[in-house]
Amino acid sequence: MYGTPLKSGRRSPGARRSPAAGKVAGRPPRRPALPSSGVRPVLDGVRRLVQSLRLSAEQARKRAGVSGAQLFVLQKLAEADAQSVNELAARTATDQSSVSVVVRRLAESGLVERHDDARDHRRVRLTLTARGRALLRRSPASAQQELVRAIEALSARERKAFASFLARVVAGMGEIPPALFFEKEEPAAARRKADA
């Protein structure tokens, strides 16, 4: 009935439970779970890969004054001059918008020139300047070039499986644009303005 006090040892339905409630006296708190077996070799491989790319980018900045991504693009442009942006994107195995950002920065630095295509004035051809070629002669090797060669050394089945596993791991980390390594991306609005 209303007004009747609760019996000793029973909680009121609205009463809060203390943080210690439910713990067994004398039992230590449960430790956080350790990573599953096999996680560390995967992480070690990723660490070595990122470290190699980072050190390569630092060397490019110190010795040539360009980013690792810019050096990679220059090296690919040197393989076949007078490429379009789409052709250069295919050679660097990335998307056209990422390459366009790098090319614009290289052109602003006087390392790359843009020329109208004589056969199709809607297209632009890219060539290295004398300054760009001189920079390549004193530049260090690119870790991105080595990474591409290592991936190409895998069989087609291995590349497909590797790409599938990697995509699943990256999907668990959220949406990340596949930009060129260690190259600062521009906001979408700035990219649209630059391409206009």
DSSP string, 82-93: SB-HHHHHHHHT
Residue 72 has pLDDT above 80, yes or no: yes
Q: Which residue has the higher pLDDT, 19 or 180?
A: 180
DSSP string, 8-66: TT---TTPPPPTTTTPPTTPPPPPPPPPPTTHHHHHHHHHHHHHHHHHHHHHHHHHHSS
In a domain, 76, yes or no: yes
Region 76-105 average pLDDT: 90
Exposure letters 78-105 (e unless 16+ CB within 10 A, then b): eeeeebebebbbebbebeebbbbbbbbb
In a domain, 188, yes or no: yes
Band of residue 195 on the pLDDT scale cut at 50, 70, 90: very low
Rg (CA), the chain: 28
Q: Which residue has the higher pLDDT, 5 or 93?
A: 93
In a domain, 151, yes or no: no
Residue 124 has pLDDT above 90, yes or no: no
| φ, ψ for residue 112, nearest 5 deg | -135, 145
Total domain count, the chain? 1
In a domain, 13, yes or no: no
How much is the pTM? Answer: 0.70
Q: CA-based angle 165:44:69, to the nearest 5?
A: 75
Residue 18 has pLDDT above 50, yes or no: yes
Residue 1 has pLDDT above 90, yes or no: no
In a domain, 31, yes or no: no
**What domain range is 92 assigned to?**
61-140+184-195
Region 50-63 average pLDDT: 90
Question: What is the rounded end-to-end Cα distance, in angstroms, of the chain?
Answer: 79
| Of 12-26, 27-41, 166-180, the least confident | 12-26
The tokens for 56 are 């390569």
CATH code for the domain in which residue 103 is found: 1.10.10.10
Characterize the bridge pairing of strands 112-116 and 124-128: antiparallel
Q: Which residue has the higher pLDDT, 116 or 161?
A: 161
Q: Are 96 and 89 in contact (CB under 8 A)?
A: yes
In a domain, 38, yes or no: no
Q: How many CB atoms lie within 10 A of CB 193?
A: 10
In a domain, 114, yes or no: yes
| Of 12-16, 25-29, 146-150, 168-172, the least confident | 12-16
